[in-house]
Amino acid sequence: MVRRVRTARPIPGGMRWLSPALILSVGLIYYCIFYSGYLSTFSWRGGRTPMKPVGLDNYVKALESPVFWQAIIHTLVFFVVVYTVQVLGGVAFSAAMHSGIKFATLYKVIIFTPVVIAPAIMAPAHIQVWSSGGTVNAILDRLGLASLAQSWIGQSSTSLMVVTAVQCWGAVGFGFLLYHAAMGQIDNDILEAARLDGAGNIRTLFSVILPNVRGTTVSLGILNFITALKLFDNPWLLTQGGPAHSSEFLGTMIYSEVAGQSRNIGYASALSMILLVIAIVISVVMSVWGRERPPRAPSRRQAKRAERKVLTSKATERHRPPALAANKGGDA
């Protein structure tokens, strides 16, 4: 009789190990969401003031408010511009830096430093750049375009543009980092084959490089959308959502309702719930859309290389979360 070697089963008793993460993260986050849903049915100024139940009035108020719709439009404009600039800048810089340029590390440090510094710390500098006596106007003056000089931050026609530009300043480096890593994994054989077939640089970029980094482009899209939805730091620090709500975002609206003078915690909670629903719907839609046309199947050699290089990306295949997700690192 052959004694079967018992294949070791996983060690029991794992719940104990799981509980810190579950209690803290799932507990706190789900508690907040349910509590927020509950609070959103009241009109409440916080503290000891009475909580007046109002049903769904806060949601109606939000959907009827022009400021809310303005904030949604700002979010969309902001998303489209920042995403475009990030993809174009990221691809251009990383392609250039993979092409044997000198001082690549120096350039990399210059465009990546803005990703690392907190927006809150850089804000005073950005304000000086865009203020009426600031650097942008000085440069325009030097170029003989003094007539274009204006108070960029202080007027409602340009305040959104300033917030967007400042965000782009920090976002390009992040896009660059991801594209740089993704392009580093493209097999040289493919590039050489393209070249032997007579493809020029432009053709190689569009037909070989970009299809191979499609995954990065999709992830950046989701990350950027979530960043735009939750945006608070830059608009608050630069313009406080003003003047006259011209750079208002959902994040600044919620903050003003929680911490501002005329606060209404119920309304803030209703706005939070709306934001949450949009975030979930959009990230599910985008990750489904991102999977529809998978990038070309990599060659075996390429796959092997990729496996060796990126341990983390395995996460994609094995445990793809429902909402292929955006991380908080995506503030960039």
| CB 179 to another protein: min, Å | 11
> Of 74 and 126, which CB lies nearer to another protein in the complex structure?
126
Residues 210-249: x where in contact with another protein by CB under 8 A, - otherwise, as a string: ------x--xx--x--x--xx-xx---x------------
Question: Exposure pattern of 195-227 as b/e (b: 16+ CB <10 Å)?
Answer: eeeebeeeebeeebbbebbebbbbbbbbbbbbb
Residues 24-63: x where in contact with another protein by CB under 8 A, - otherwise, as a string: xxx-xxxxxx-xx--x------xx----------------
- Please report, as residue ranges, which positions from 143 to 202 form the binding site for another protein (by CB under 8 A): 169, 172-174, 177-178, 181, 183, 186, 191, 195, 201
Sign of torsion over alpha carbons 298, 92, 113, 327: negative
| CB 44 to another protein: min, Å | 9
- Please report, as residue ranges, which positions from 4 to 23 form the binding site for another protein (by CB under 8 A): 8-18, 20-22
User: How far is residue 79's CA from residue 229's CA, in Å, rounded to a whole number?
Assistant: 9
User: How far is residue 45's CA from residue 56's CA, in Å, rounded to a whole number?
Assistant: 17
> Of 73 and 315, which CB lies nearer to another protein in the complex structure?
315
Give the alpha-carbon dihedral of 66, 68, 74, 80, to 10 degrees: -120
- Please report where in the chains the tokens 């202080």 appear, as a residue: 154
Which of 190, 204, 242, 295 contacts another protein by CB under 8 A?
204
> Of 128 and 156, which CB lies nearer to another protein in the complex structure?
128
* Other beta carbons within 10 Å of 36: 18
| CB 75 to another protein: min, Å | 12
Residue 153 in tokens: 């931050």
* 76 binding another protein? (CB under 8 A): no
